Structure 1
């Protein structure tokens, strides 16, 4: 019986720890703007952080957020969201807030349109 209780406590702790890592930082970054995405043409090339760009990873480019920062990006047209890690600088087009990898853009339903109005929220570290 003690083993089952310990196992249940561990499972609950693991679940809560996993959820906490995706918590919005109430004092953190929170901006609304336009997002775009980039993919195959840049796949394998070095990002500003030095790692190779992987269009299939959940990553993004931002002008000022620290490399390794995690943000939740929500498509305001359909309320779908994705958590991405900042590993590159950009976007290089005026009027854009963030560039998402192809995989991240697919998760929030903006592959076809190429751009979307989004909300970007910093997550607690």
Structure 2
């Protein structure tokens, strides 16, 4: 299926209304959110129970969202940036890190989970447009993925861990560079060679 620059699932097609747009353009403020797990909630007749799951490791469908949500607040109060390496997940703590692997090509990206969703059958994660581009499925809209929890993310919204992980992938165009032990603040991130 050929894609345009708009997301496959615009606000008019999702069951949860989008927040008002609070920022525009490519330069979106980082951080500003709150750490939260959240109470159980119901969407379209289905209950979701957010919780800390250190061993979370699931496979299913991944989708992406972009233009229609760019500049709007996420579930934890950050501002969604389609150019950032972020994701929405129905139950993982916000913000947290997760490894997302495209099972069709083996590419893995470290993402910051800072939003809730997706709420369509079979989909386990909704990714930013940039993550879809890096995982090479932006023109398909959906792909088979594996999602693994990788620890709590800082509230400042700094994406250096995600960008460093990406740059060290053999398929990445970002360029490779070594990480020092001092640059890693989350124990799970020290396992970047684990796929």
For 1:77, which of 99, 104, 117 is the aligned residue?
A: 104
For residues 92 and 64 of structure 1, the distance between their equivalents in structure 2, rounded to whole angstroms, comes to: 11
Q: CA deviation at 1:92?
A: 2.0
Q: Which has the higher contact order (CA 8 A, sep 6+)?
A: 1
For residues 41 and 71 of structure 1, the distance between their equivalents in structure 2, rounded to whole angstroms, comes to: 23
Unpaired runs of 5+ residues, structure 2, are 1-53, 152-185, 187-195
For 2:57, which of 11, 30, 41 is the aligned residue?
A: 30
Map 1:103-122 → 2, pairs under 5 A = 103-122=130-149
Matched, 1:93 2:120: yes
What is residue 60 of structure 1 aligned with on the other side?
87
- Paired residue total: 99
For residues 28 and 69 of structure 1, the distance between their equivalents in structure 2, rounded to whole angstroms, comes to: 13
For residues 137 and 81 of structure 2, the distance between their equivalents in structure 1, rounded to whole angstroms, comes to: 18
Higher strand share: 1
Map 1:4-43 → 2, pairs under 5 A = 28-43=55-70
For residues 109 and 122 of structure 1, the distance between their equivalents in structure 2, rounded to whole angstroms, comes to: 21
For residues 85 and 50 of structure 1, the distance between their equivalents in structure 2, rounded to whole angstroms, comes to: 14
Following TM superposition, the consecutive aligned residue runs of length 4 or more in structure 1 with deviations greater than 6 angstroms are none
Give me the CA root mean square deviation. Answer: 1.0
Q: CA deviation at 1:72?
A: 0.5
Q: CA deviation at 1:93?
A: 1.4
Deviation string, structure 1 residues 32-91 (Cα, Å, up to 9, x no partner): 000000001110011111111100000000000000210100000000110001100000
For residues 28 and 85 of structure 1, the distance between their equivalents in structure 2, rounded to whole angstroms, comes to: 17
